[in-house]
Amino acid sequence: MPSGKRQYSGWFFFCGVLVEKAQGEVEVDGVSYYVRGPGDMPAPNEMFEPHPLALEFTIELPWVLLGENPDELYGPPVKNSNIGATT
């Protein structure tokens, strides 16, 4: 991403009762999330029964692994005009 950050998203499952459904996605401090109830989320395993809920989230975080730039390390392969050439 041009910002130098990477986007991560996922689901956090928990047990509970959804008292009031939100009108849509909420964003707080750069984290967007939405609480979803049964029928509106992936099926969790049985440990979350009888009242499974899920928090769907998306966040952008800086890449901090060893000071590397993932755009340089994991970008598309570079064409090498010498591949297949005979000497």
List strand residue ranges (DSSP E) for 1-87, in order.
5-15, 26-28, 31-36, 52-62
Model confidence, pTM? 0.59
Q: What is the DSSP letter of 75?
A: S
Q: Determine the Cα–Cα distance for residues 63 and 5; give it in Å rounded to an integer.
A: 6
pLDDT attached to residue 83: 54
- The better pLDDT of the pair 40, 74 is held by 40
Q: What is the pLDDT of residues 10-60, one digit of tens each?
A: 999 999 888 887 778 888 888 898 888 878 888 887 888 888 888 899 988
Q: Parse the chain into domains and list their residue ranges.
A: 5-73
Does 77 have pLDDT greater than 70? no
> Which residue in 50, 52, 32, 31 sits closest to 41, CA to CA?
52
